[in-house]
Amino acid sequence: MILISDKAQQAGKHTEKEQYWKSIGIEVMNYPLPCGDYIVANDKVLDVISRKEKRGIPVKKMDFLGTFNVTVDTKKDIQELVGDICGKQHARFRDECILAQNNGIKLYVLVQNAGGLITGTKDIYNPTIQSLDELHKWKNPRLFVMKRTSDVIGHYKSGKPIYRRTQRYPAATRGETLMKACKTMQKKYGVEFVFCHNRDQGRLVLELLQREVS
């Protein structure tokens, strides 16, 4: 199998997946993709690349439309998903979903997450989310970022004041809100959200791509 990786992918950020693919004989080529991060280089995809190379012109992302029917978009963590669904990247992500839908492409969004202790806390943990229905359990780490106020609530033995602390980002997206928003987009645009532990992303990219092309 040959994969096409979106040329916009940041170099050095996907070494774990790439090493896994190399170990099992998967070749990865880099070209711009109209949507998603990975597709299978089937005969139609390879034909586009061959024809463009023979003419000595670069492949453009829209050249691949009509050559594949499934793509996988990977997210490094749930926080990145928040930006796409409830943040500043929403309009861009929505347009990508619509582009896939309008061209008969199944778009999977594969979100890796390892869970673990939330930075800045002593005993608050995030679970590893394995499905969209579990996303309500996710605790946004931004909700636990605190800031000092000007209110004095006591004094240390040294005499220095103790200031009250409060949330720096009280309006940060919560797991329940994110889950509902994802389900709305899934129903409206046909995009499907899949969750996994970090170590499993490389394997699942291959499995998802082969669901539609096999």
User: How is residue 126 written in tokens?
Assistant: 């995030």
Report d(CA 23, CA 202) in Å as an integer: 11
Share of the chain above pLDDT 90, in %: 89
Q: Check pLDDT > 90 for residue 152.
A: no
pLDDT of residue 212: 57
pLDDT of residue 214: 44
Report d(CA 71, CA 9) in Å as an integer: 14
Report d(CA 210, CA 214) in Å as an integer: 5
The DSSP symbol for 187 reads: H
Confidence of residue 8 (pLDDT cuts 50, 70, 90): confident
pLDDT tens track for 45-58: 999 999 999 999 99
pTM for the whole structure: 0.92
pLDDT of residue 130: 96
Where in the chain are the domains? 2-113+174-213, 140-170
Paired with 161 in beta bridges are: 155
CA distances, 115 to each of 40, 78, 86, 107 (Å): 30, 10, 21, 25
pLDDT tens track for 32-89: 999 999 999 999 999 999 999 999 999 999 999 999 999 999 999 999 999 999 999 9
pLDDT tens track for 94-134: 999 999 999 999 999 999 999 999 998 999 999 999 999 99
For the CA atoms of 213, 191, 49, 42, the dihedral, rounded to the nearest 10 degrees, stands at 0
pLDDT tens track for 155-197: 999 999 898 899 999 999 999 999 999 999 999 999 999 999 9
Q: Check pLDDT > 90 for residue 207.
A: yes
Share of the chain above pLDDT 70, in %: 98
- Token pair 């800045």 is found at 120
Cβ contact 201:109 at 8 Å: no
Q: Check pLDDT > 60 for residue 147.
A: yes
Fold annotation for 2-113+174-213: Rossmann fold (3.40.50)
Residue 120 CA neighbour count, 13 Å, CB half: 10
Confidence of residue 12 (pLDDT cuts 50, 70, 90): low
